[in-house]
Amino acid sequence: MSPTESSITKSTGPAPSTRRRRRIDGGEPLVFLTGMGLAIGLTMITALLALILFKGLEAFWPKRVARIELTPAAAERVGRDVVVAHILGRQEIRGAAHAEGGAGVDEGDPGTELRLQVGNRDLNGMGFMYLPESAIERISHPRGILRLERMEYGPALVEPLELDIAGEPPLSLASEGGIDALERAIRAAAHRRAEIRAIERDQIGGLSRRIESLRMRRRGIEASATPDPAEVASIEARIAELERRYEGLAAESRALRDAQHADTLTYRIDSGREHRIPVGEIVSAERPNALGFFGRLRVFLGNMWSFVVDEPREANTEGGIFPALFGTFVMTLILSVAVTPFGVIAAIYLREYAKDGPTVRAVRIAINNLAGVPSIVFGVFGLGFFVYFVGGSIDTLFFRLSEGPVFGTGGILWASLTLALMTVPVVIVATEEALAAVSRGVREGSLACGASKWQTIQRIVLPAAAPGIITGMILAMARGAGEVAPLMITGVVKLAPTLPLDATFPFLHLDRKFMHLGFHIYDLGFQSPDSEAARPMVFATTLLLIALVVTMNLGAIVIRERLRRKYATGAF
Amino acid sequence: MPSRELDRGAVTGAPHAAGTVAVRPDADPAPSSILAERASRFVSADDRSDSVIAAILANRPTATVVHAEVAEDVPHIVKIRGFSLHYGEKQALHDVSLDVPVGKVVALIGPSGCGKSTLIRCVNRLNDLIDSVRTSGVLTIGETSVLGPETDVIGLRKRVGMVFQKSNPFPKSIFENVVYGLRIAGEGRRSVLREVCERSLREAALWDEVKDRLDESALQLSGGQQQRLCIARAVATRPEVLLMDEPCSALDPVATAKVEELIGQLRGVYTVMIVTHNMQQAARVSDYTAFMYLGRLVEYGPTEAIFQNPRCRDTRDYVTGRFG
C-alpha cells in the first residue's frame, strides 16, 4: 500500500466491511488457501513415501529371535513349553484374531496379544501365530538360535545340532567352527544350484527350442506336396544328435541334484522335534541374535541384493523379484520406444500441418479424453485387437505349423503396445506444447534459407523441441510403468519361467509372457496363500517399483538436460 | 487502395487534381514507365493538402513522388507495381510501386506499422505463412514473377536471402548455421561446404572472430556476432537480393557500426533492401531511400535528396523528426 493510500485509510476510517473486502481483494486469504493445499498434498505424499520406505527396508533388516517361555496353563493349551519366534507386533485381542490364532485363548480374555512369526511351517503346519501376553512367562534372546532361509516352507528358527557332510564324520554345531563349516557347505550348494540352473534353463532350454524348430520343419516338409525323404532323414539325424546331447546334459544335472542332497543338517525346533534337511535346500543361515550392528547391516544388504537379483520362491512370497523387475523394465522400454514416434508424428501433424478448425479442435478434445478412459478398457481393447486380431493373424500367416499360439496369446509386445496406446495422449499433448514453443524466428530463418516446411520441421523444429518431447516420454513412462489392470489380460503372469530378454537367439522374445512389479504387488497382497508371509514383500516390491520408475525417469531427465544445454536459446 | 470515387460531400472545393505539378526537373519521362506516369499526378510540396492523412480523409488517392534518378538507374532487379496487401479485411499496403536498381542498397523508412516489413517480406513470400494474407499487383525479381500460386517459392527463397530483426541462429554449430542453405539444397561435399563457410563468414566480417571455433554452438556468440552470422547464412547461397528487416534494432552501437560497415561492403555484390527505424542509419548505408507512411509509398529517391531536400511534406516532417 502506498503512503498516500494508507494516510487516506487512516483519515477516512472506512467501514470494517470495506476493510475486509480490501483484504480479500488483496489476495492474502487465497495465498493461505493455496499454500495449505500444497502443504496437505506434500504431507500426504511424504507420509506415503516414508511408510513405503520404512516398511520396505524393514523387510530386509534381520529381526531378533525371541525364545518365549509359556506359563504352565498356556503351555498345556498350546501343547509346548517354549515358542521360538520373531515378534512382529502387539495388538488388541479381537474376536476374529482369537478364532484364527489357534493359541487356545479363553473367551473374553482381555489384554493384548503378540503377532509371532514362528517359521518351521513344514513341521508346525503354520508360519505365524498369535499369543496373548498373559500366556508369557519369560522372554529371552539366546545367541545360538539359527535362522534358516530354505527353498521351500519359508524360514526356520532352529537350534542346530549336527552337520553331516558326505565322506566326513558328523560335526557338532555347538562350536563356531561348525557354523563356519555350515556356511561353507551352503555356499557350495548355492554354487551347484546356479550350475543346475545354467544347465537346465539355458543349455537344455536352448536345445529344446532347436529340437522343436527342427520338428516344425519336418512337419512342414511332410505336409508339402512332394516330401523329400532325404531331407526328412537328415532332419531326423540332427534331432537324434540333439537328443543325445540333451541326455548328456540331463545326466549332468541329475548328478548335481544328487550332490545337493548328499550333505545334511540336523536341527531341533521349539516343540522339541528333531529334523534333518539336505544342505542343498538351505538358501542362507544366520544367527540374528549373535549379530552386531555391522553384522546386521551385512545381512540387510545381502537380503536386499538377493531380493533384487533372485527369482521368487514359494508362490512368490519368498525369494527375490528379479523377473518382475526385469519384465517391468523391458516393458517400459518397449512402451516408450513405441509411444514416442507415434505420439510425435501425430503431434507434428496436428500442430504443424492441420488447419485449425472444428475438426482439429474435436480431435484435440478426443485425445485429451482418451487419457481419462479407464485403463481396463484399454486392456480389453488390447486383448481384442492386438492379441486376438493382430496376433491371431500373425499366427495364421507365419506360425501355422506351431503347436500352440505364438503371438495369438498375451505377451510382452501386446502388453507394451496396449500401454503405449493408453499413454499416447500424454506424448501428443507434451509434443504439441514443445513444438508450439519453438520460436517463429528460427522457423522463418530456415524458410528464408530456402528450406521446405518439412525440412524446417525435421532440421530445426524437432531438435529444438526434443527436450519437451522427452518430457512427454517421461510422463508416459511414469504412467505406463505403474499400470496393472490392462496388463493382466494382455500378457502378465504370476510366474514366468523365462525372461523376455535373454542370451538365446533372437534375444528379445516379444511373444513371451512376463512378470510385472505392479501385478506382483497385487498377487502378493491379495492372491497369496500366506498373506502374513507376503506382507513385508508387498512393501519391498512397492519400494522397488517406485525406485525403478524414478531411476528410469532420472535417466530420461539426464538425456533431456543434455539436449537442453545443446539447444539452449541464445543470448537474447 | 481507397476508392477513387470522389466523395464530393467530404471534399470542400478542391478537386484532387488541382495544384498538381510535375516535379521532374528534366521533364523527360520515359513514356513506358508507370512511375513517370504517376509522377504527373504529383501534388505541390507546399500545398498542405498533399499530406497522406489529408488525402485519406478527403478520400483521395495518394500519390507517390519518385525522383528521376531512381527510374534512370537501370537495370532494376526488383520491380513492384500497383502492389496491395490485405490482412483479412485490413489493408496494409496500398498500391505500392517501387523499383530496386541492381547492386544498390535501398532503405525503407517510415513510422511503425507503415508496412515496410510487410513489403519486404512479400519479396521472398514469407507472408505466405499467414493464412489471411491476400495480395494483388505485380512483383518480379529479374524476369520471375514472385506472386501467384505457380511460383516455385523454395527456389525463390534461394535467390532472396533474408536477415531478421531479431537474430535467429539455429541451435546448431556455427559451421552448420552458415552452410544450412547449401545442406538443404543437397550439397554434401565437405570441401565445398568449408569453402562456402569461409567465404560467407569473411563477407560477414566474422571469420577472424570464429574461425577457431566453427564447431561450437552458434548460440554461444554475442548478439552482434549472431546477427553477422545470420548475414553470413543469408549470403552463403549467393542470393540476388538480400532483405534486411531492421537488422540492427536489437544491437548495441558497436555491433550496429560493424553491421553497417558490412552492408557498405556488400553494396555492389548484392542488391540490398533494408528496413530501418533509424534515419541516420538509412542515411549512412543506403543509396536510395523510400519513405512509407500508412501503407503508402510516399517518396522514393536518392538518399541524399530524401534527407536534405524532400519534396513531400510528410517526408520532410518525418526526416526532421516532426512525427513518427
Q: Does B155 touch chain A (CB under 8 A)?
A: yes
Q: Cβ B168–A444 below 8 Å, yes or no?
A: yes
**Predicted confidence (pLDDT) per residue in B289-306, tens digit:** 999 988 899 999 999 999
- At A95 the pLDDT is 60
**Predicted confidence (pLDDT) per residue in B176-189, tens digit:** 999 999 998 888 88
Question: What is the CATH code of the structural domain delimited by B11-319?
Answer: 3.40.50.300
Phi and psi at A69, nearest 5°, equal -95, 135
pLDDT of B35 strictly over 70 = no
**Predicted confidence (pLDDT) per residue in B147-203, tens digit:** 888 888 888 998 999 999 888 999 888 999 999 999 988 888 899 999 999 999 988
8 A C-beta contact, residue B61 and residue B1: yes
Question: With bands split at pLDDT 50, 70 and 90, how would you rate the model's confidence at B119?
Answer: very high
> A–B: how many Cβ contacts below 8 A?
91
- At A12 the pLDDT is 54
pLDDT of B41 strictly over 50 = no
- At A388 the pLDDT is 92
Domain with CATH 1.20.120 in chain A: 166-262
Say which CATH architecture domain A166-262 belongs to. Answer: Up-down Bundle (1.20)
Average pLDDT over residues A64-84: 87
Spatial neighbors of B34 by CB under 8 A, at least 6 apart, are B81, B82, B97
d(CA B235, nearest CA chain A) in Å = 10
**Predicted confidence (pLDDT) per residue in A373-430, tens digit:** 999 999 999 999 999 999 989 888 888 777 778 888 889 999 999 999 999 999 999 9
d(CA B282, CA B305): 12
- At A175 the pLDDT is 73
| B258-317 residues touching A, CB cutoff 8 A | none
> Taking the domains of chain B in order of start, what are their residue ranges?
11-319
Q: Which residues of A touch B (CB under 8 A)?
A: 355, 439, 441-442, 444-452, 455, 459-460, 463-464, 566-572
Side-by-side strand order, sheet with A82-92: A128-132, A112-117, A82-92, A66-70, A136-140
- At B8 the pLDDT is 34
Average pLDDT over residues B126-137: 86
d(CA A468, nearest CA chain B) in Å = 15
Give the helix ranges, DSSP H, for A202-228. 205-223
Domain with CATH 1.10.3720.10 in chain A: 323-566
Question: What is the CATH code of the structural domain delimited by A323-566?
Answer: 1.10.3720.10
d(CA A199, CA A193): 10
My answer on whether omega of the bond before B75 falls inside 30° of 0, hence cis, is: yes
| B122-141 residues touching A, CB cutoff 8 A | 124, 126, 129, 131
Q: Cβ A459–B180 below 8 Å, yes or no?
A: yes
Q: Which three cell numbers stand for residue A467?
A: 527436450
pLDDT of A23 strictly over 80 = no
**Predicted confidence (pLDDT) per residue in A259-307, tens digit:** 888 888 999 888 888 899 998 889 888 888 888 899 999 999 999 999 9
Q: Which three cell numbers stand for residue A257?
A: 541334484
Of B4-8, B78-82, B134-138, B242-246, which gets the smallest average pLDDT? B4-8
User: Against a cut of 0.80, is the pTM above it?
Assistant: no
Q: Cβ B184–A567 below 8 Å, yes or no?
A: no
Q: Cβ A450–B185 below 8 Å, yes or no?
A: yes
Of all residues in chain A, the one with the smallest CA distance to B169 is A442
Average per-residue pLDDT in chain B? 81
Identity of the amino acid at A307: F
pLDDT of A22 strictly over 50 = yes
**Predicted confidence (pLDDT) per residue in A190-232, tens digit:** 999 889 888 887 788 888 888 888 888 888 888 877 778 888 8
Question: Which of B70, B12, B16, B6 lies closest to B44 in space, CA to CA?
Answer: B16
pLDDT of B284 strictly over 70 = yes
Average per-residue pLDDT in chain A? 85
